[in-house]
Amino acid sequence: MNMFELLAQSARRSPQRGAVYRGTEQVWTYGQLCDRARRLATALRRHGQPGDRVAVASENRTEYLEAMYGIWAAGMVFVPINAKLHAKEMVQILEDAEANAVFVSPKLADDLASALRGSPQAGCRLLRIGSADYAALFDNAPMDAPITEPEALAWLFYTSGTTGRSKGAMLSHRNLMAMTISHLAEMETFGEDASQIHAAPMSHGSGLYIPAYIARGARQVLPTSGAFDPAEFLDLCDAHPSCGAFLAPTMVQRLRLEAERSARRPAHLRSIVYGGAPMYVEELKKSLATFGAVFTQLYGQGEAPMTITALRRHEHIGADDATLGSAGTPRLGMDVRVVDDEGRPCPVDAIGEIVCRGDVVMSGYWRNPKATAEALRDGWLYTGDMGSFDAHGRLTLRDRSKDVVISGGSNIYPREVEEALLTHPEVSEACVVGEPDAEWGEVVVAFVVPMEGAAPSCDALDAHCLDHIARFKRPKRYVFIDALPKSNYGKVLKRELRLRLAQTRADAPA
């Protein structure tokens, strides 16, 4: 079992069918995409062997698809890197994965090359997409994909813990196949005439659904802008048949506002799968009124990608607020429980930690036995998320035991922002929390205690953060205070800081 075989099967069935589109322009047929992946595999094997990790650091591009399937055709491990990360953060992932090579887009190549200098992973080959050297990779004869054991590592999905240091969730070919089958069985119904619009990043949310569409022989559609543009998304839904997409809630809201502003409705919109952050009930109601019953909600995480619970399409129709505010019921093939501190199942409506098990759950964290032992216990994945089941078996997410801030569908971990702030010479202490935001779900707010006699400006702290962490992680707001509230044990009381923000919002004039 090798995930490449999904592409090979579709290429054998329909070699002339359009596989990849840039905007409305066909780039490759299924036969061409399969051939390019196999040629790329030959090039990769000349400098590596099965099991080697090969990364892709790029915004959404058509080349993402040939790289993904070329890596699998070579029997190697696909390591996607979020294009929004700082180059230093990308290097941390390359070092941890001990990557053999990295495909990098022109936009990111120079910064990544500079950051790699002096790194223990400096020998990692930098394959610049679009260069003459990249084009030469396809001059090789195509190779046949090796026979791969189902438990072999296929995808190293990097996700941060509360420390902010990236951890690689190990996903096997079996894990990805279980995810793909589950999606086709209960999330979306479509055939070869369907289209997947990659509006969200292919490095995580949108990319995880590529195999399902490839298995059906459907279209992969890349916006020409390379990013999410609501007007362009509507155009693509008019131009391509039976369109589906994964969108973060903030993207759904932007799409609705554009549809209302322009008085347009997408002609061929079939499905929007949303997740990655809270979707407010009122926004969901407005979007349902605008686009109709096209929505499916998912709850998952990198350790069990996209496949823990779901609020299915038909369950949105005529649903009450409690249902719309829930994360739905367990996916097929998944056992999901809410447990107390002793690991015992909680009664109905009681809040506890969400745990799950099933074929989609990772085997552990790459070369991190301590984190693996904390996350996987007695066959169950402990998600770190808090929730409760109601009498109808619907799961509602109540809080996160980890302090991760989810802004616009992206996870932001407070400690890495705090550590960046603490390297500024005028900052004595810093604490980062999330504040609810109608557009982004949450925004990052940093409470800063200046050094005695210092008065750092917001602009200076912004510039400092941009030198150390990705732009999307930097605080949206700074609050300067004399001291952080702490417990008797010296632990910062983040709850008090959140209450302070809530009180400020309540006191603000309407």
Residues 65-99: pLDDT tens digits?
A: 999 999 999 999 999 999 989 999 999 999 999 99
Predicted pLDDT at 318: 95
pLDDT digits (tens, 9 = 90+) for 401-444: 667 788 888 878 787 788 789 889 999 889 999 999 888 899 99
Strand pairing report for 295-301 and 304-311: antiparallel
Strand pairing report for 477-480 and 441-450: parallel
Predicted pLDDT at 401: 60
pLDDT digits (tens, 9 = 90+) for 362-404: 999 999 999 999 999 999 999 988 889 999 999 988 756 667 7
| Sign of the alpha-carbon dihedral angle for 498, 338, 413, 416 | positive
Predicted pLDDT at 489: 41
pTM: 0.83
Amino acid at 97: A
The separation between the first and the last C-alpha atoms of the chain, rounded to the nearest angstrom, is 59
CATH code for the domain defined by 405-507: 3.30.300.30
Mean pLDDT of 451-459: 93
Identify whether the C-beta of residue 330 lies closer than 8 Å to the C-beta of residue 309. yes
Mean pLDDT of 281-290: 91
Domain chopping of the chain, boundaries:
4-389, 405-507
Predicted pLDDT at 161: 43
* CATH level 3 topology of 4-389: Rossmann fold (3.40.50)
The structure tokens 């055939």 sit at 191
CA angle, 410 then 416 then 418, to 5°: 115
Hey, do 4-389 and 405-507 end up sharing a CATH topology, with the first three levels equal? no
Helices (H), 263-412: 281-291, 321-324, 369-375
How is residue 93 written in tokens? 């992932």
Does residue 487 surpass a pLDDT of 60?
Answer: no
How is residue 36 written in tokens? 């390019």
Predicted pLDDT at 1: 83
Q: For residue 130, give the H/E element and its range.
A: none
pLDDT digits (tens, 9 = 90+) for 236-255: 999 999 999 999 888 898 99
How is residue 112 written in tokens? 């990544």
Predicted pLDDT at 263: 96
Predicted pLDDT at 219: 98
CA angle, 338 then 339 then 344, to 5°: 135
Predicted pLDDT at 260: 96
d(CA 476, CA 440): 11
Does residue 163 surpass a pLDDT of 90?
Answer: no
Strand ranges in 94-190 using DSSP code E only, listed in sequence order:
101-104, 125-128, 153-160, 166-172
Predicted pLDDT at 488: 43
Q: For residue 57, give the H/E element and its range.
A: strand 53-57
The structure tokens 């394959």 sit at 127
